[in-house]
């Protein structure tokens, strides 16, 4: 090490004498290895590039950092934003005092890192995170270089992974993002973004000194005012109190290949582009200018904004427009005023009998007003505390925050159709009477009507299909083709092949039994070989199955949108003459169940392979839940739906029951419970509520099956009344989890890893969905990033259940079949 450094110092000495104009392509800038316009350096992994550029519409030269591998949408960082080089004579180098500087042709310093460093041996290093750091070389060879300055600490308009948006609580000094003045002028514009840690931390976007947009309070996981965060960013963002006076917000994505960031445009729009690798283009994932409701205080005090309504502004219940004329003209800035005096005000106004106490009206899924005051961590205290303080106008409770209440104006309330939190607005008792229940009834009726409508249309289609005869056939064919075409136009046409029925019949020897690979919930799967020799798997949806077309199209839509090495690939489809077929790549090793529960094949699965399978399933699920830009809940994860490729890598298959969430809802209720007994989470099996956490439950079961080599719902010899989950729990409590491990696995030095996996399996199968980790946390857990794992609570379904005893249990309307076939139960809720 010491030797190496000496050699380098020596060679630099030579270079500085002979290389007058020396431009290099490394990742380092020193006094001799400087960059001169139009030179550049590239980070060691090739991700980022630092060099001279001119913004659109000007010939001024700036030094900036941008993405090197994909066409940059914007320049992330600009050094000399206030002072451009006016010609092409610019140089970025290390000055005599050890600072990183930009000089023009006359050797004038246009920009400097402006820190006190020691001597000219300093060097600047462009890292693969996009950070440019200035390192002071230690005069003491046995100590490391220290970072004297970094570009991440002087942010421009872009917030990329691992940057820190910070505020010093003591000095109130802030590291903020600042917009460019215009698209052709990187100098500091009027918009800035800061982290405001007062009361409850929140991100503010300012126009000069005027608040322009706010994120809503941070609840430990997401910002309450950004519903999209519920899905996409969960676990990606963290707010850190470094205990040295700084609070900062930072983020990172679990999947390295996923490239996305935030930046504030010169017009004040904060947006999140992400790189769509499949289509090779940038997409805007999220923006603060998606709706007029994004503007701070759009509807004035005591008004609220709902982008789905027309007009978008309304008064909170119990309030009416302050200036009716202006309000009706769409000038909402004056806001609303109370209709009836609250009890405190009545008392104050000399009324001796103040009458009944105030009540609260609920507004669900909202971004709560600005200036929240925190009062208590306990939910049942919120209302009481608000009532007891005359200046309290509203309260809200969020599990991650506790009680928030507001005095004075309620400003910048926004209603969403999902996420957000519930706001309780204080009103006089006279405002409460009679109205409350009617709303609830109307809302329920609307939901029921929608469901009945969609089920109704579906059955109408089925009926007309069954009616037979020319008309019926025509109708059904036309409609199935239309549906197919309609959904194909939504999916990616280039990559999905429409196969001909005769082609597929030939490939599978007319769907012969000899070619049958298995029977799924909605039909049989056949092995086939196309004329060109390519092997395929053909799923033929059974005509008799009531699920038919709907699941068919669903599966096609879902799977054509996702691509991941741990998900099975759909090649094409076919819908002809009442036949509906899906064509997949062929997986020679079939399902995981065929290995795991086969006494001979099981031996091939040593612990390394099993761990690789567990890890692969996690990554496939993470992709579905988080990284594919659409949130997909699989709903029927089980060992037979995990296919193995030649190298025994897992691929999740069977998306017939998956639900796309479009990154919006977080959980849903369904009338059609579809899944497989033994793998279904309790809240889903019992109440039809499914979410990412119900997939996590199924994953937990699969994990325990992989470790133990036993099926959850099969008979077990030790204790016939216990399910696999029950058995795992029993051993866990006895502190003897290794007893659960498949005897075919040689535990050896993998003991800790195996115990870890069982611990994770138990965490995933806990009774309460909220106790279960998200799949990204699971990945961190099994890859040992999280060191101390929590102790699990008792899992759900520890007792072994049979068809009869489930039938007679709590859910008497439901019928489950205990075999391995996907079941469906229709239930009115």
Ligand X SMILES: *[C@@H]1O[C@H](CO)[C@@H](O)[C@H](O)[C@H]1NC(C)=O
Active-site annotation, residues: 636
Contact segment (CB under 6 A) with ligand X among 142-150, 254-262, 533-541, 748-756 equals 142-150
Residue 172 in the binding site for ligand X (CB under 6 A): no
Q: Among residues 404 and 624, whose Cβ is nearest to ligand X? A: 404
CB 628, CB 661: distance < 8 Å: no
Q: Among residues 135 and 822, whose Cβ is nearest to ligand X? A: 135
Q: State the Cα–Cα distance between residues 680 and 701, nearest whole angstrom.
A: 9
Q: Among residues 209 and 770, whose Cβ is nearest to ligand X? A: 209
Residue 171 in the binding site for ligand X (CB under 6 A): no
Residue 142 in the binding site for ligand X (CB under 6 A): yes
From candidates 389, 509, 545, 714, binder to ligand X by CB under 6 A:
389
The distance of closest approach from Cβ of residue 56 to ligand X in the complex, given in angstroms and rounded to an integer, is 4
The distance of closest approach from Cβ of residue 491 to ligand X in the complex, given in angstroms and rounded to an integer, is 29
CB 651, CB 676: distance < 8 Å: no
From candidates 333, 479, 545, 670, binder to ligand X by CB under 6 A:
333
Residue 208 in the binding site for ligand X (CB under 6 A): yes
Residue 114 in the binding site for ligand X (CB under 6 A): yes
Burial 89-121 (b: 16+ CB within 10 A, else e): ebbbbbbeebbbbbbbeeeeebbbbeeebeebb
CB 658, CB 695: distance < 8 Å: no
**Of 180, 150, 181, the residue nearest 166 (C-alpha):** 150
The distance of closest approach from Cβ of residue 514 to ligand X in the complex, given in angstroms and rounded to an integer, is 59
The distance of closest approach from Cβ of residue 339 to ligand X in the complex, given in angstroms and rounded to an integer, is 12
State the number of binding residues for ligand X (CB under 6 A). Answer: 22
The distance of closest approach from Cβ of residue 190 to ligand X in the complex, given in angstroms and rounded to an integer, is 6
Residues 511-530 that bind ligand X (CB under 6 A): none
Site string for ligand X, 391-410 (x = CB under 6 A): x---------------x---
The distance of closest approach from Cβ of residue 331 to ligand X in the complex, given in angstroms and rounded to an integer, is 4
CB 664, CB 633: distance < 8 Å: no
Q: Among residues 95 and 334, whose Cβ is nearest to ligand X? A: 334
Q: State the Cα–Cα distance between residues 198 and 372, nearest whole angstrom.
A: 10
Q: Three-class SS of residue 10?
A: helix
From candidates 1, 96, 107, 144, binder to ligand X by CB under 6 A:
144
Residues 18-57 that bind ligand X (CB under 6 A): 56
DSSP code for 639: G
Q: State the Cα–Cα distance between residues 652 and 634, nearest whole angstrom.
A: 9
Residue 341 in the binding site for ligand X (CB under 6 A): yes
From candidates 186, 189, 236, 268, binder to ligand X by CB under 6 A:
268
Output the CA angle 12-17-20, nearest 5 degrees: 100
From candidates 172, 310, 349, 808, binder to ligand X by CB under 6 A:
349
Q: Among residues 360 and 611, whose Cβ is nearest to ligand X? A: 360
Residue 668 in the binding site for ligand X (CB under 6 A): no
Q: Among residues 142 and 812, whose Cβ is nearest to ligand X? A: 142
The distance of closest approach from Cβ of residue 379 to ligand X in the complex, given in angstroms and rounded to an integer, is 18
The distance of closest approach from Cβ of residue 333 to ligand X in the complex, given in angstroms and rounded to an integer, is 5
Contact segment (CB under 6 A) with ligand X among 242-250, 327-335, 451-459, 493-501 equals 327-335
Residue 373 in the binding site for ligand X (CB under 6 A): yes
Site string for ligand X, 70-109 (x = CB under 6 A): ----------------------------------------
Please, what is the end-to-end C-alpha distance for the chain in angstroms? 71
Count Cβ atoms below 10 Å from residue 706 Cβ, excluding itself. 27
The distance of closest approach from Cβ of residue 330 to ligand X in the complex, given in angstroms and rounded to an integer, is 9
From candidates 82, 97, 285, 326, binder to ligand X by CB under 6 A:
326
Q: State the Cα–Cα distance between residues 222 and 71, nearest whole angstrom.
A: 30
From candidates 147, 207, 291, 479, binder to ligand X by CB under 6 A:
207
Q: State the Cα–Cα distance between residues 66 and 50, nearest whole angstrom.
A: 7
Count Cβ atoms below 10 Å from residue 808 Cβ, excluding itself. 9
**Of 642, 758, 757, 763, the residue nearest 693 (C-alpha):** 763
Contact segment (CB under 6 A) with ligand X among 30-38, 81-89, 333-341, 637-645 equals 333-341
Q: Among residues 348 and 500, whose Cβ is nearest to ligand X? A: 348
Q: State the Cα–Cα distance between residues 473 and 466, nearest whole angstrom.
A: 9
**Which residues contact residue 565 at a Cβ distance below 8 angstroms, ignoring those fewer than 6 apart?**
616, 619, 649, 651
Q: State the Cα–Cα distance between residues 314 and 336, nearest whole angstrom.
A: 9
Helix (H) or strand (E) run with residue 375 in it: strand 373-376
Q: Find residue 638's DSSP bridge partners.
A: none
Copy the structure tokens of residue 11. 């060679």
Q: State the Cα–Cα distance between residues 232 and 234, nearest whole angstrom.
A: 6
Q: Among residues 83 and 794, whose Cβ is nearest to ligand X? A: 83
Q: Among residues 89 and 334, whose Cβ is nearest to ligand X? A: 334
Residue 330 in the binding site for ligand X (CB under 6 A): no
**Residue 408 to residues 370, 379, 393, Cα–Cα distance (Å):** 10, 22, 7
From candidates 96, 140, 257, 494, binder to ligand X by CB under 6 A:
140
Copy the structure tokens of residue 415. 């209603």
Residue 199 in the binding site for ligand X (CB under 6 A): no
The distance of closest approach from Cβ of residue 208 to ligand X in the complex, given in angstroms and rounded to an integer, is 6
Q: State the Cα–Cα distance between residues 745 and 105, nearest whole angstrom.
A: 70
Copy the structure tokens of residue 610. 């099993």
The distance of closest approach from Cβ of residue 57 to ligand X in the complex, given in angstroms and rounded to an integer, is 6
The distance of closest approach from Cβ of residue 298 to ligand X in the complex, given in angstroms and rounded to an integer, is 11
CB 455, CB 671: distance < 8 Å: yes
From candidates 54, 60, 199, 334, binder to ligand X by CB under 6 A:
334
Q: Among residues 385 and 817, whose Cβ is nearest to ligand X? A: 385
Residue 250 in the binding site for ligand X (CB under 6 A): no
Output the CA angle 656-659-662, nearest 5 degrees: 140
Residue 422 in the binding site for ligand X (CB under 6 A): no
Q: Among residues 112 and 649, whose Cβ is nearest to ligand X? A: 112
Helix (H) or strand (E) run with residue 760 in it: helix 751-764
Contact segment (CB under 6 A) with ligand X among 151-159, 221-229, 331-339, 772-780 equals 331-339
Residue 209 in the binding site for ligand X (CB under 6 A): no
Contact segment (CB under 6 A) with ligand X among 122-130, 141-149, 150-158, 682-690 equals 141-149
Place of tokens 């798997």: 537
CB 175, CB 165: distance < 8 Å: yes
Q: Among residues 268 and 318, whose Cβ is nearest to ligand X? A: 268
Q: State the Cα–Cα distance between residues 270 and 345, nearest whole angstrom.
A: 42
Q: Three-class SS of residue 84?
A: coil
Contact segment (CB under 6 A) with ligand X among 122-130, 236-244, 330-338, 767-775 equals 330-338
- How many Cα atoms are found within 13 Å in the side-chain-facing hemisphere of 291? 17
Q: Among residues 114 and 802, whose Cβ is nearest to ligand X? A: 114
Helix (H) or strand (E) run with residue 660 in it: strand 659-660
Residue 430 in the binding site for ligand X (CB under 6 A): no
**Residue 726 to residues 468, 701, 712, 732, Cα–Cα distance (Å):** 50, 11, 9, 10
Q: State the Cα–Cα distance between residues 13 and 121, nearest whole angstrom.
A: 11
From candidates 16, 129, 182, 190, binder to ligand X by CB under 6 A:
190
The distance of closest approach from Cβ of residue 391 to ligand X in the complex, given in angstroms and rounded to an integer, is 4
CB 738, CB 607: distance < 8 Å: no
State the pairing for strand pair 336-338/319-321: antiparallel
Footprint on this chain of ligand X (rule: CB under 6 A): 56, 112, 114, 140, 142-144, 190, 207-208, 268, 323, 326, 331, 333-334, 341, 349, 373, 389, 391, 407
């Amino acid at each position: 090490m010491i030797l190496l450094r000496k050699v380098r110092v020596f060679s630099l000495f030579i270079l500085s004498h002979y290389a007058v104009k020396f431009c290099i392509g490394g990742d380092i800038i020193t006094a001799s290895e400087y960059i001169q316009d139009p030179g550049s350096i590239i980070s060691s992994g090739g991700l980022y590039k630092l060099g001279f550029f001119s913004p659109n519409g000007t010939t001024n030269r700036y030094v900036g950092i941008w993405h090197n591998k994909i066409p940059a949408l914007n320049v992330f960082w600009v050094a000399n934003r206030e002072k451009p080089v006016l010609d092409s004579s610019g140089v970025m180098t290390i000055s005599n005092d050890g600072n990183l500087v930009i000089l023009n042709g006359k050797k004038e310093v246009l920009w400097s890192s402006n820190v006190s460093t020691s001597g000219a041996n300093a060097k600047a290093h462009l890292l693969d995170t996009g950070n440019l750091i200035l390192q002071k070389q230690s005069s003491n060879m046995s100590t490391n270089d220290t970072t004297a300055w970094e570009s991440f600490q002087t942010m421009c308009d872009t917030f990329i992974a691992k940057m820190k948006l910070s505020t010093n609580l003591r000095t109130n000094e802030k590291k903020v993002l600042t917009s460019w003045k215009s698209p052709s002028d990187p100098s500091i514009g009027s918009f800035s973004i800061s982290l405001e840690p007062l009361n409850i931390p929140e991100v503010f976007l300012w126009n000069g000194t005027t608040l322009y947009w706010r994120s809503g309070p941070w609840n430990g996981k997401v910002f309450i005012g950004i519903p999209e965060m519920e899905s996409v960013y969960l676990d990606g963002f963290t707010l850190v109190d470094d205990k040295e006076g700084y609070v900062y917000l930072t983020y990172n994505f679990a999947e390295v290949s996923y490239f996305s960031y935030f930046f504030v445009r010169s017009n004040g729009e904060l947006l999140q582009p992400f790189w769509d690798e499949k289509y090779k283009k940038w997409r805007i994932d999220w923006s603060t200018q998606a709706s007029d409701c994004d503007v701070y205080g759009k509807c004035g005090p005591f008004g609220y904004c709902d982008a789905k309504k027309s007009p978008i502004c309304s008064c909170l219940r119990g309030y009416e427009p302050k200036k009716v004329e202006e309000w009706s003209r769409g000038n909402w800035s004056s806001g609303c005023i109370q209709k009836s005096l609250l009890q405190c005000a009545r008392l104050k106004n000399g009324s001796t009998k103040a009458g009944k106490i105030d009540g609260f009206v609920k507004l669900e899924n909202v971004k709560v007003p600005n200036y929240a005051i925190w009062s208590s961590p306990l939910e049942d205290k919120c209302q009481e505390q608000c009532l007891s303080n005359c200046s309290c106008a509203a309260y809200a409770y969020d599990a991650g925050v506790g009680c928030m209440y507001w005095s004075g104006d309620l400003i910048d309330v926004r209603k969403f159709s999902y996420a957000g939190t519930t706001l309780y607005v204080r009103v006089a008792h006279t405002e409460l009477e009679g109205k409350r229940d009617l709303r609830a009834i109307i809302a329920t009726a609307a939901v029921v009507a929608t469901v009945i409508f969609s089920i109704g249309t579906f059955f109408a289609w089925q009926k007309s299909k069954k009616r037979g005869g020319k008309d019926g056939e025509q109708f059904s064919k036309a409609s199935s083709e239309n549906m197919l075409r309609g959904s194909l136009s939504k999916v990616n046409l280039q990559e999905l092949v429409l196969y001909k029925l005769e082609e597929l019949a030939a490939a599978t020897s007319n769907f012969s039994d000899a070619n049958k690979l298995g029977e799924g919930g909605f039909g049989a799967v056949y092995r086939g070989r196309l004329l060109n020799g390519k092997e395929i798997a053909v799923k033929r949806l059974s005509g008799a199955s009531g699920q038919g077309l709907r699941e068919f199209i669903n599966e096609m839509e879902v799977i054509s949108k996702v691509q991941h090495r741990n998900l099975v690939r759909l090649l094409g489809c076919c819908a002809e003459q009442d036949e509906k077929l899906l064509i997949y790549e062929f997986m020679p090793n079939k399902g995981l169940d065929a290995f795991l529960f086969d006494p001979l094949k099981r031996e091939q699965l040593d612990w390394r392979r099993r761990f690789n399978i567990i890890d692969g399933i996690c990554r496939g699920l993470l992709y579905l839940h988080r990284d594919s830009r659409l949130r997909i809940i699989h709903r029927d994860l089980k060992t037979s739906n995990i296919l193995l490729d030649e190298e025994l890598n897992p691929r999740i298959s069977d998306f017939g029951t998956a639900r796309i969430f479009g990154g919006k809802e977080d959980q849903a209720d369904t009338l059609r419970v579809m899944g497989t007994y033994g793998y279904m989470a309790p809240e889903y099996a019992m109440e039809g509520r499914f979410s990412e956490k119900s997939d996590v439950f199924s994953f937990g079961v699969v994990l325990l099956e992989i470790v133990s080599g036993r099926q959850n719902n099969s008979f077990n010899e030790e204790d016939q009344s216990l399910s696999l989950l029950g058995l795992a729990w029993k051993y866990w409590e006895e502190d003897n989890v290794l007893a659960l491990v498949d005897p075919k696995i040689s535990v050896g030095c993998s003991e800790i890893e195996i115990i870890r996996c069982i611990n994770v399996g138990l965490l995933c199968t806990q009774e309460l969905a909220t106790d279960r980790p998200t799949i990204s946390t699971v990945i961190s857990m099994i890859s040992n990033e999280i060191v101390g794992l929590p102790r699990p609570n008792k899992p759900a379904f520890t007792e072994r259940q049979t068809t009869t005893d489930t039938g007679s249990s709590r859910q008497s309307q439901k019928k489950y079949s205990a075999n391995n076939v996907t079941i469906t139960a229709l239930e009115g809720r």
